[in-house]
Amino acid sequence: MALSAWSEAEPPKSRLSQKPVAQIHDILAESQCYSFEFFPPKTDEAAQQLESTLRELEPLNPGFVSVTYGAGGSTRERTHNLVLTINDGTTMTAMAHLTCAAHTRAELVEIVELYGSAGVENILALGGDPPKDDGLQRGELTYAFELVELIRSVGTFSIGVAAYPTPHPRARSHAEDRARTAEKLAQADFAVTQFFFEEEQYFELVGDLASRGVEKPVVPGIMPVLSLQATRRMAELQGSEFPERLLKQLTADGDDPAAIRAAGIAEATRLCTALLEAGAPGLHFYTLNGSTATREIVSRLEGPAES
């Protein structure tokens, strides 16, 4: 795969993969599946770690994997290169994240056309965070539904959007957030949620969307608690409350990191089981470019092999 040999100035020469690159809405229609999220590495060392992670997770036969897009397009080339490398160098199907923020309409069309010409068929359309650098433009598009419309005008992609089991931190109200989610998902093919801690939050989201006439697949996002401080910080950034119930459960044996991690894996496994049994279309793991926790959870979900 040679991820550590990447150069932003010289992206890998694209070739259409020998394997058929499936569209994600078709994959989700077939059966429940696992999927994984990665981010483009910044250093050779990080690239080597990601290469190991990809090889370790590939045998789990994920329905798809996704590659994040840095704020303001800061990882544009690296995201593109990683998506192509996964599609061409593994058995996995990659989805590219793309955001509106800090891009002109013409730039977005160019990016989407490049993906199409490279055989990429799946894009996650995101609004993106407004640029913090005053020197960057805000972008000609503001909302994800506008990006979905643009992608549709360029090619026949399978398009996903993000959904928040708890309201988006910039939403003015819970009702507005649900209305926005329904609006963009009505035009897209599926949604992937931000991580959450209580299955009832996911069921409420899906039920609310259905009441608005939107019944596209909504894949729940999973983030096991491996570090209490780090996970609470990430939850705060996405506007989620960390449940008191979960805090007490994780710290039942004190603040020992190993005990917290073990409890976090057990709780994530319980959450995944409840979601799958209730008919969720799959599970999307936020891997943070590691494989160990995801492999542990999947192993527990699948149980011992039959003799």
Query: What pLDDT, on a 0 to 100 scale, did the predictor assign at position 135?
Result: 55
- 241 versus 159: which is more confidently predicted? 159
**Domain-embedded: residue 8:** no
**Domain-embedded: residue 5:** no
Query: What pLDDT, on a 0 to 100 scale, did the predictor assign at position 2?
Result: 61
How many angstroms separate the CA atoms of 269 and 56, rounded?
Answer: 19
> Which residue, chain included where needed, has tokens 């089981």?
273
Mean pLDDT for 1-23 is 49
pTM beyond 0.75, yes or no = yes
pLDDT in tens, 279-305: 999 999 999 999 999 999 999 999 864
Query: What pLDDT, on a 0 to 100 scale, did the predictor assign at position 71?
Result: 86
CATH code for the domain of 20: 3.20.20.220
Tokens of 59: 């045998």
**Domain-embedded: residue 139:** yes
pLDDT in tens, 166-202: 887 778 888 999 999 999 999 999 999 999 999 999 9
Residue pair 38/67 in contact by the 8 Å Cβ criterion: yes
Mean pLDDT for 227-250 is 90
**Domain-embedded: residue 6:** no
How many angstroms separate the CA atoms of 283 and 219, rounded?
Answer: 6
Domain count of the fold of the chain: 1
Q: Is 192 helix (H, G, I), strand (E, B) or coil?
A: strand
- Catalytic machinery residues: 37
User: Above 90 in pLDDT, residue 203?
Assistant: yes
**Domain-embedded: residue 275:** yes
User: Above 50 in pLDDT, residue 17?
Assistant: no
User: Above 60 in pLDDT, residue 60?
Assistant: yes
| Strand-strand pairing, 122-126 and 190-195 | unpaired
Please name the helix (run of DSSP H) or strand (run of DSSP E) that holds residue 47, with its range, or none.
Answer: helix 44-57
**Domain-embedded: residue 10:** no
Strand-pairing partners, residue 66, are 37, 95
Q: Is 164 helix (H, G, I), strand (E, B) or coil?
A: coil
Q: Which of 46, 45, 102, 111 is nearest to 74 (CA)?
A: 102
pLDDT confidence of 134, banded at 50, 70, 90? Answer: low
Strand-pairing partners, residue 269, are none
Please give the single-letter amino acid code of residue 291. Answer: S
Which domain, by its residues, includes 280?
16-302
